[in-house]
Amino acid sequence: MNSFYKNTLYTLSLVALITASSSCTNQPKLNPVTLHGDEPVASPKERYAMVEKYFAGRRAGKPIAVAQVDGLVCPSCAIGIRKNTEKLNFVDSDAPQKGVRLDVKNQLVVLSLKPGEKVNAEAFAGAVRLAGFKPVTFYELKNNGKGESVILSIKLIK
């Protein structure tokens, strides 16, 4: 069979498959903001509340960084993020979960940092992109000069 007929047969098969699948009324409507199953992704307000909770609950003053990652909606898909980010020199891979906690409901990655290490947002963003995801927002805890720790300016990672 020559390539013209193969391509035509392939195209017709594809059209038939698309037509059959779009006419099926038993298929659930797909929502781009749902996790595996029917659990919805957190709203921005819920996500920020969780960021505050992570910073408030960090263990014994251990430094952490938190980032929102677009597309982080299932635990299986997130494995690439863990594998790439646990290798970063500022991530404490001796911490629980190799220093990388993945929160798919809130689309957050929580990094445990090595003591005295500064987080490199660009290196983190590169590791996330390498895993096929899009880093969106990066949250840092800073001292406000009054002896209080606050979540400082949220940096959008491009």
Closest by CA to 66, choosing from 77, 56, 79, is 56
Per-residue pLDDT of 76-111, as tens digits, reads: 878 899 999 999 999 999 999 999 999 998 999 999
**Report field, pTM of the whole predicted structure over 0.95:** no
Per-residue pLDDT of 33-62, as tens digits, reads: 555 455 677 888 898 889 888 888 776 668
Residue ranges of domains in the chain:
44-156
Q: What is the CATH number of domain 44-156?
A: 3.30.70.100
Is beta strand 141-143 parallel, antiparallel or unpaired with respect to 155-156? unpaired
DSSP state of 146: S
pLDDT of residue 36: 46
The neighbouring-strand residues paired with 103 are: 108
Residue 110 has phi, psi (to 5 degrees) of -110, 120
Per-residue pLDDT of 106-129, as tens digits, reads: 999 999 999 888 888 889 999 999
